[in-house]
Structure 1
């Protein structure tokens, strides 16, 4: 049962009962977490069944510990017209209401029980199911002018929907123990944890459901996830929920509360817990020998570069037949270049201008190189230099003579008419700047991290010439029309066979701001145009570009949108074990849109940490993942 055809009828079926704590308000939120493929639907706290009646699953098991509720659904399923005929004899009158309420439930036939349950629900106060210590229904008359308890159309529609369900009177544990299987979607809507006193909470349930019950339910959720089920659970925004489900995705949703004598308190916050199936298939794709051309990609010290992992990425991709690739966050361009050497049509995108120019120079470019005459012109001093770097970055990153060299080359680049040649020159200059910078980043001033590397001993001109040579040698024609883009990842939409995604990794203890680390060379690439300079900072940086990957919720939402947009493409995602979403959460997000999700797990050590003291310590050792979704 796929997510696309879980809804059999486009017409929405409304629940036939009014139900305290019903999920009608949360339907859209809940449905957004459905996986792409569903074995069967299980809801062991069916209540009013808002989600069940909305989604109309083809194969469902619904249950509840309330015998009246289960009798109602079974009877409506089997003999709806008999229930309707009995309801037609009922009256919306207070005396008649209390007469029906006083009847001994066990002395009635199943059909009479169902009609009584439906009638009392629609005519009692607020549809509140409440019983006394003897188990007798004791909610007062609601005094409604026109309660729709003879809803013939709704009852017939509900009967049709219930034909696809197995309806069982049982506690949730028995249902899950006996029926849950890998691939099932399990929706759990238990009695909510109290925000206030337990006395206020217990009045809404016949059976007490205390802290220990919620602990036990949380264990079931973990077991279901381990089994391979996709679990969605709702509860109140209680601190205990965060403790019980800390390993899973938790979303807070504002809702209205209809059962409260004080109208000012008829608002609340529900939480939705999403527990995706645990990864059941971690594969080892090995490595692939790449064409010799791939070795000509210039080595890089760029943060997050996948240069050491390109063979594994290629191995993961080459399981499939594909012709076109979108590298959504190209960064250093190493993965785009790898796909180009494999003969693919590559669309390389990055939101940073310096990276898009590098992709223009090496990915989109099939033949253009800088000649010796071009290099000579770039290195010829000019009187018209704007001295932007010399004037504004004095004694910050480089010596004065180096700043003058940068300004000279910047000025001469602007005189080059051919765009691709300009992009090669800009890329060579930014590469020279990174090579001449200890640790290759611009988050600090001075040269206190000078480690004596040869790169730091070479002059700027030597570094620039080496960079031009490396880029020139990397240029080749693979016979395909490859392109480079400088767009926000959330705004680009290309129809391609395969999408490779290597986004900024979100970690709550460290930032993932590429602009903060590379603002100086990004400024060179943009000529400091359309950036918000922060002149009061020591590093003279500019304001970071907005990105959804700077927050936890932003990252989750961004992944969901990207996966949905490219649901018809093969997806390869690089991510890390010390980042969020977690491995399981990422699998859950992908499972909403893809039938198959596999994970490649590799040991990996970062070349440098976010802090100088972290270089070489164990915190840089992580598991690097490649998620493969198809």
Structure 2
């Protein structure tokens, strides 16, 4: 699934984990909902597998969700716009980047955002205390070439066009309106990494508020999965979700950290996936099969007493 179209480079995207995450989802979903859509990597994967034909993509970062909508619904327009911006770099590509960044911060034009995301350092979004995008350009490259961008945009549009609702709401507004026939995938900023405000995220979330929202989903019988905390070597990111929620936790090995490798450390990145209590009913054999296959990959599965962790 790594080869699926993804026009937006975005640090924290679950693109490389999509196939593992989908292995725990139902085979058919009436409506797939992402309250923290980001670049919609999981929705793209769901659409590619024909698991759902209806999507609700939401993100509090309004220019980002508006950009997604343009990519999906107006692919020709954004391809042309991006091509023109990319070609205008000429000899002073660094100066051009800062000009585009200044204009974006003045207008919040989502079409400008695409070029910034394609050209900024490591596809990593950064904001200052005033909420302005302030990430620097990658000086080693000029951003995704237009022909590659066209291919990715057209690929995403082919998968999602006419199937999506796009909103920029607080995630709690989304969760209060979802139904038991929906499936909700949540990928919020790690609690403990971002707090209520951090330069790496447009907006953080409050841990207690998030737990209350999950409790309410459980009470209403809405199936969901959450990518939430993680580990890098011996360092843990984010507070684990309370066992009282009755969630099933899968710890998935992402791979060796490239930064750690450069520093001569063999640190493995692991991300957690929490599954709602009603999601895997009657699938114990599949879970046991997953455990046996994953042991070699250092993937852990904890079922809060129902299964032992693999070591």
What TM-score range do you get, normalising by the shorter chain?
A: 0.7 to 0.9
Task: Write out aligned runs for 1:577-592 (5 A).
Answer: 580=306
Aligned to 2:75: 80
Aligned to 2:211: 218
Aligned to 1:68: 63
Task: Write out aligned runs for 1:548-587 (5 A).
Answer: 557-558=287-288, 580=306
Structure-1 separation of matches of 2:102 and 2:280: 53
Aligned to 1:43: 34
**CA 1:278–1:35 in structure 2 vs 1: closer, same or farther (change >3 Å)?**
closer
**CA 1:19–1:131 in structure 2 vs 1: closer, same or farther (change >3 Å)?**
same
Task: Write out aligned runs for 1:41-120 (5 A).
Answer: 41-56=32-47, 57-91=52-86, 92=89, 93-105=93-105, 107=107, 113-120=109-116
**Which of 120, 128, 143 is residue 147 of structure 1 equivalent to?**
143
**CA 1:555–1:84 in structure 2 vs 1: closer, same or farther (change >3 Å)?**
closer
Task: Write out aligned runs for 1:360-439 (5 A).
Answer: none
Gaps of 5+ in 2: 231-236, 292-303
Paired residues of 1:122 and 1:149 also in contact (CA < 8 A): no
**CA 1:11–1:193 in structure 2 vs 1: closer, same or farther (change >3 Å)?**
closer
Higher RCO (C-alpha 8 Å, min separation 6): 2
Cα displacement (A) at 1:263: 3.9
SS in 2 for 1:130: coil
Cα displacement (A) at 1:185: 1.1
Paired residues of 2:128 and 2:199 also in contact (CA < 8 A): no
Q: Which has the larger radius of gyration?
A: 1
**Which of 5, 10, 24 is residue 33 of structure 1 equivalent to?**
24
SS in 2 for 1:98: helix
Aligned to 1:234: 227
Cα displacement (A) at 1:74: 1.7
**CA 1:117–1:279 in structure 2 vs 1: closer, same or farther (change >3 Å)?**
closer
The superposition leaves residues 382-422 of structure 1 with CA deviations (integer Å, 9 ceiling, x where unpaired) of xxxxxxxxxxxxxxxxxxxxxxxxxxxxxxxxxxxxxxxxx
TM-score by length of 1: 0.40
SS in 1 for 2:269: strand
**CA 1:555–1:76 in structure 2 vs 1: closer, same or farther (change >3 Å)?**
closer
Structure-2 separation of matches of 1:122 and 1:44: 23
**Which of 7, 16, 24 is residue 15 of structure 2 equivalent to?**
24
Task: Write out aligned runs for 1:132-531 (5 A).
Answer: 132-148=128-144, 150=146, 151-163=149-161, 164-178=163-177, 180-194=178-192, 202-209=198-205, 213-237=206-230, 238=237, 240-243=239-242, 247-256=246-255, 263-264=262-263, 267-277=268-278
| Pairwise CA RMSD | 3.5
Structure-1 separation of matches of 2:170 and 2:27: 28
Cα displacement (A) at 1:142: 0.5
Structure-2 separation of matches of 1:138 and 1:11: 29
The superposition leaves residues 272-309 of structure 1 with CA deviations (integer Å, 9 ceiling, x where unpaired) of 100133899xxxxxxxxxxxxxxxxxxxxxxxxxxxxx
Query: What is the total number of aligned residue pairs between the two structures?
Result: 276
Structure-1 separation of matches of 2:76 and 2:213: 39
Cα displacement (A) at 1:36: 3.6
**CA 1:149–1:173 in structure 2 vs 1: closer, same or farther (change >3 Å)?**
farther
Aligned to 2:233: none
Gaps of 5+ in 1: 1-9, 281-500, 502-553, 562-577, 582-630
SS in 1 for 2:30: coil
Structure-2 separation of matches of 1:175 and 1:101: 30
Structure-2 separation of matches of 1:217 and 1:192: 11
SS in 1 for 2:131: coil
**CA 1:257–1:207 in structure 2 vs 1: closer, same or farther (change >3 Å)?**
farther
Cα displacement (A) at 1:79: 2.0
Structure-1 separation of matches of 2:305 and 2:128: 50
SS in 2 for 1:82: helix
Cα displacement (A) at 1:258: 6.8
Structure-1 separation of matches of 2:253 and 2:150: 33
